[in-house]
A = this chain, B = another copy of it.
Amino acid sequence: MGDPVSFMARPSGVGSARLGRLETPHGGIDTPQFMPVGTQATVKSLSPADLRASGAQVILGNTYHLALRPGAERIARLGGLHRFMAWDGPILTDSGGFQVFSLGHLARVDDDGVTFASHIDGSPHRLSPERSLEIQALLGSDIAMAFDQLIDPTRAPGQVEAAMERTHRWAERSLSARSGAEQALFGIVQGGIDPVLRQRSAATIAALPFDGIAIGGLSVGESKEAMASTLEVVAAALGDDPRPRYLMGVGSPLDFFPAVERGIDLFDCVLPTRVARNGQLWTSAGKLNLRNARFLDDPRPADPHCGCETCRTHSRAYLAHLFRAGELLAYRLATLHNVTYTLTLMRQIRASLADRSFASLRDAVEARYGVVGSGEKPPLTAR
């Protein structure tokens, strides 16, 4: 039985940052890399052709959403998630653990799994490590995630530790339930922002035969400093472990740099697409809020340095008009730009690691986006 994915990475000389390439059954991924989120079998407002044009190499699908609607068995009958959504590149599916707790109603956790009510119609459902892996096998993603328990890191230390221990037990059960040679499986490090717990969790997950290691439970309201120090604890615990490392739910221009420096290879976040739908564009000059009235008379492209269809074709004035008029085209044009911006930034980060210009790229982005923190972190809700 061959490995479903292979990963080659070399140290960049910049902190713990690595430059790598992850090969999957549906194609290769240059790392560090960002994965746009295709929650309900679509990256909101974008077509597969749009995604390709944006430079996307891999996207994320949500087990919780897809299991509820249209249903994993249905997607399997229709040929799997790639065929269903007409995306022939790599797909990573999350385990549903995050959404069960953040979106599902009345979630009750026991050692076997989680019972919850659908946020769509209130119908009762149950997820467990075994069912999560079964769903992900039905979806046919290239990379599946172990089923973990999300917990607010500000809870009592005993509760955070108990959730982490349960996540470790579920990690072993996820491994036992994995489907086969065609799907990789990543484990998830938990432990809140407690360095002792994080160290223990990283060592525990790294000792298991996962194909990659994810860091969960961050970007849920903790400070930038707490995130960075937690990533350092995990990086130290993982040492020179050669497997890909995935920081879940993180993806703003400011957040990439400290994470890449601490060895992160993969990111995902709804932020670029969500803020786009609210009219916030990320540009080489910083944030641009298209709902600001002054843009109604601005004939320039959103970002003159961007090559996306939006910036090649349309003015800020037109985009600002579309947002004011509530026109559907606004959401697509803004999303296409923000995804392109984010993936271009990741490409620039990779290039800066190769030619040792990472620090100056980081400083330039921090100068444009504000070093103190963007205030654009997603709340502890759906992604």
Give A contacts to B, CB under 8 Å: 40-42, 44-49, 69-70, 74, 77-79, 84-86, 296-297, 299, 309, 313-315, 317-318, 321-322, 324-325, 327-329, 331-333
Contacts and interface: CB of A to CB of B under 8 A. Distances in A.
Given A84-B318, A296-B74, A317-B70, A333 B47 contact: yes
A69 B322 CA distance: 10
A222 B130 CA distance: 61
Contact of A328 (B45, B69, B299, B314): B45
Quick one: copies of this chain in the complex?
2
A44 B78 CA distance: 30
8 contacts: A40-B321, A41-B321, A44-B329, A45-B329, A47-B332, A70-B296, A74-B296, A74-B297
| In the complex, the 6 A-B pairs of residues with the closest C-beta atoms, listed nearest first | A45-B328, A70-B321, A40-B325, A42-B329, A86-B313, A42-B327
B40 A318 contact: no
B328 A331 contact: yes
A69 B318 CA distance: 11
B324 A69 contact: yes
A147 to B, nearest CB: 23
A324 B69 CA distance: 9
Contacts of A40: 321-322, 325, 327
A59 to B, nearest CB: 13
A70 B313 contact: no
A313 B327 CA distance: 24
A338 to B, nearest CB: 14
Contacts of A313: 47-49, 86
B42 A322 contact: yes
A79 B41 CA distance: 39
Nearest to A327: B42
Given A47-B333, A78-B317, 19 more contacts: A41-B318, A44-B328, A44-B329, A45-B332, A46-B329, A48-B313, A70-B296, A70-B317, A70-B324, A74-B317, A77-B297, A78-B297, A78-B315, A79-B299, A84-B317, A86-B313, A86-B314, A86-B318, A328-B332
Contacts of A86: 313-314, 318
Given A78-B317, A309-B49, A327 B70 contact: no
A206 to B, nearest CB: 37
A297 to B, nearest CB: 6
Contacts of A79: 299
A46 B329 CA distance: 6
